[in-house]
Chain A
Amino acid sequence: MKVGKPEKLIVNGKRLDGRAFDELRPIKIKAGVLKRADGSCYLEWGKNKIIAACYGPREVHPRHLARPDRAILRCVYKMAPFSVKERKKPGPDRRSVELSKVITEALENVVFLNLFPRSAIDVYIEVLQAEGGTRCASLTAASVALADAGVPMKDLVAACAAGKVDGEIVLDLFELEDNYGEADLPVGIVPRTGEITLLQMDGNLTREEFEKALDLAIKGALQVYELQKAALKEKYGGENGGEQ
Chain B
Amino acid sequence: MESNSIVASIKKDYILTVLETGKRVDGREFDEYREIEIIRGYAQRAEGSALVRIGNTQVLAGVKLSLATPFPDTPDEGILSTTAELVPLASPSFDIGPPDERAIELSRVVDRALRESNALDLEKLCIVPNEKVWLVNVDIYILDYDGNLFDASCLAAISALLDARFPKLEDDKIIYEEKTNEALPIKNKPVEVTFAKIGKYTVVDPNLEEEEVMDARITFGITQENELCALQKGLRGSFTREEILDLFDKAIEKAKELRRYLE
Contact = CB atoms under 8 A, between A and B. Distances in A.
Contacts of B239: none
A37 to B, nearest CB: 6
B45 A81 contact: no
B72 interface: no
Interface in B150-195: 176-177
B146 A53 contact: no
Interface of B: 42-46, 49, 56, 58, 60, 62-64, 66, 83, 85, 87-92, 96, 98-99, 137, 139, 141, 143-146, 176-177
A35 B137 contact: no
A87 B135 CA distance: 11
A51 B63 CA distance: 19
B141 A126 contact: yes
B87 A124 contact: yes
Given A84-B45, A124-B89, A35 B56 contact: yes
Nearest to B139: A81
Interface string A86-106: 110011000000000000000
A35 B43 contact: no
B92 A58 contact: yes
Nearest to B63: A82
Closest 7 CB pairs of A and B: A82-B62, A53-B89, A82-B46, A87-B64, A124-B89, A81-B139, A35-B56
Interface centre among A87, A91, A126 (most CB of B within 10 A): A87
Interface of A: 34-37, 40, 47, 49, 51-53, 55, 58, 76, 78, 80-87, 90-91, 122, 124, 126, 128-131
Given A82-B63, A128-B60, A34 B89 contact: yes
8 contacts: A36-B92, A47-B44, A49-B43, A80-B60, A80-B139, A81-B64, A83-B46, A129-B44
Given A129-B43, A130-B45, A81 B62 contact: yes
Contacts of A82: 43, 45-46, 49, 62-64, 137, 139
Contact of B91 (A36, A47, A87): A36
Nearest to A49: B43
Given A36-B145, A80-B62, A81-B62, A91 B98 contact: yes
Contacts of A37: 89-90, 144
Given A53-B90, A81-B83, A82-B49, 4 more contacts: A34-B143, A53-B88, A82-B62, A126-B141
Contacts of A35: 56, 144, 146
Nearest to B65: A87
B146 A83 contact: no
A239 B222 CA distance: 50
Contact of B66 (A40, A87, A126, A129): A87
A34 B59 CA distance: 12
B144 A34 contact: yes
A55 to B, nearest CB: 6
A125 B137 CA distance: 22
